[in-house]
Amino acid sequence: MSELYIGLMSGTSLDGVDGVLADFSDGVLRKVLASASTPFPAPLRAELLALNTPSDNELHRAALAGHQIAAAYADVVDKLLTQVAPNGIMADQVRAIGAHGQTVRHQPQRSANTLAGAGYTLQLNSPALLAEATGIDVVADLRSRDIAAGGQGAPLVPAFHRSVFGQAHAQVAVLNIGGIANLSVLPGKPEDPVLGFDCGPGNALMDAWCLRHTGRAFDDGGTWAASGQCLPTLLASLRSEPYFAQPPPKSTGRDLFSLSWLHEKLQRFANAAPQDIQATLTQFTASACVDCVNSYSKESKLLIVCGGGAFNHSLLQALRVGLPTVKVETSEQHGLPPLQVEAAAFAWLARQAITRQPGNLPSVTGAAGPRILGAIYPA
């Protein structure tokens, strides 16, 4: 008997909402029945970018932005329900929606060993409004409980990666390149722990630079980067960020890797051609990921790439050059298209919450133990 869940994801790339309708019969991903997406309107995207930094009246603006995100989520849900032939799926046939929300702050580090000194993460969303609009239970706020237990609250996808991409008797690495890049190391032995952490920026800096200088939201296929040349001195400066020297568990976001961070690094390179900066940013993302694979996934002969970065040919080529003994493939070649992976993961996390099963991996996030993640908003 089918057990249907919807997963909704809007990541740090801020390009819009991706959603899947998935069958998790017996707790295993059997099939993605439908996928859909909707872009964020330009004013909403600009507002979300602005809300990543302190600004005037931001509490009011954040609440309104959360409502707009819920409206975009509801639009994707409607698209998903009507896709399935021949007559679509009724809302009451879906057990729950896993709705990630839009991250605008991620500060998981404790400032003191007290409850008041706990870290925090903030995803804009309006899950009650989404439940009202769709008539489906919504599971949201999926990161906070892990942080409350002393974890990073991210990444949460490695447990799902293990269930979908894990291989018996062989270590596999999975690299999700959204706005931020995160690596999952899936051991070949079931008794060995999964490792996962954020490598550093994924598409966030490349997209921001491309938008500023070309008016395009992203470097389609990495063609603009391919027209430039990497600047070794700038690359070394970018790589000097202390985050890269930190051992896992660790996570990051636009709080650190922002345009203002990049502009500070670019002060000595005012005369550099924009396409050379883009080429350098592409190599920056690739080299950070390559270092993580070499340091923490030495036994992996396969790297599965998902997320929007899987479509950047210049980035994939840089990964292949940096990892000559590793087969670099996209998740499409392993049964799940790159833009469906994260949304499917949040459908899986919704099921974990509904069935009262842990969704985090302490070996990944550093939490004190397994925790049931998310708050449930009944329809």
Give CA separation, 105 vs 123, 144, 227, in Å: 7, 12, 34
Q: Where are the domains of the chain?
A: 4-154+339-377, 158-337
Residues 235-246 pLDDT 10s: 999 999 999 999
Q: In which element (H, E) is residue 50 found?
A: helix 42-50
pLDDT per position as a tens digit, 257-292? 999 999 999 999 999 999 999 999 999 999 999 999
The Cα 170–Cα 160 span in angstroms is 17
- List beta partners, residue 183: 175, 197
| Distance of alpha carbon 79 from alpha carbon 100, whole angstroms | 18
pLDDT in tens, 190-232: 899 999 999 999 999 999 999 999 999 999 999 999 999 999 9
Distance (Å, whole) CA 243 – CA 348: 30
Whether 4-154+339-377 shares its CATH topology with 158-337 is answered yes
Q: For residues 138 and 307, what is the distance between their CA atoms, to the nearest angstrom?
A: 24
The listed CATH number (3.20.20.80, 3.30.420.40, 3.40.50.970, 3.90.320.10) that belongs to domain 158-337: 3.30.420.40
Res. 364 pLDDT band, cuts 50 70 90: very high
Encode pLDDT of 47-62 as tens digits: 888 887 767 788 889 9
Find the mean pLDDT for residues 321-348: 98
User: How far, in Å, are 6, 180, 209, 234, 239 from residue 274 at the CA level?
Assistant: 40, 22, 8, 13, 19
Q: What local confidence, expressed as pLDDT, does residue 85 receive? A: 81
**CATH 3.40.80.10 is the classification of domain 4-154+339-377:** no
> Mean pLDDT throughout 335-361?
97
* Confidence at 1, pLDDT banded by 50, 70, 90: confident
Task: Please enumerate in sequence order all residues whose Cβ is within 8 A of that of 348, keeping only pairs 6 or more positions apart, or say none.
Answer: 5, 7, 22, 24, 29, 98, 159, 160, 163
Percent of the chain with pLDDT over 90: 89
> Hey, what's the torsion of the CAs at 272, 273, 279, 283, to 10 degrees?
0
pLDDT tens, position by position, 152-180: 999 999 999 999 999 999 999 999 999 99
Within 10 Å of residue 113's Cβ, how many Cβ atoms?
A: 8
Q: Decide if pLDDT at 233 tops 80.
A: yes
- Which helix (H) or strand (E) segment is 174 a member of? strand 172-177
d(CA 42, CA 60): 19
Q: For tokens 């500070």, what's the residue?
A: 264
Peptide bond into 249 cis (omega under 30): yes
The secondary structure of 293-325 as a DSSP string is: HHHH-TT-SEEEEESGGGG-HHHHHHHHHH-TT
Query: pTM of this prediction?
Result: 0.89
Dihedral sign from CA coordinates of 327, 332, 335, 336:
positive
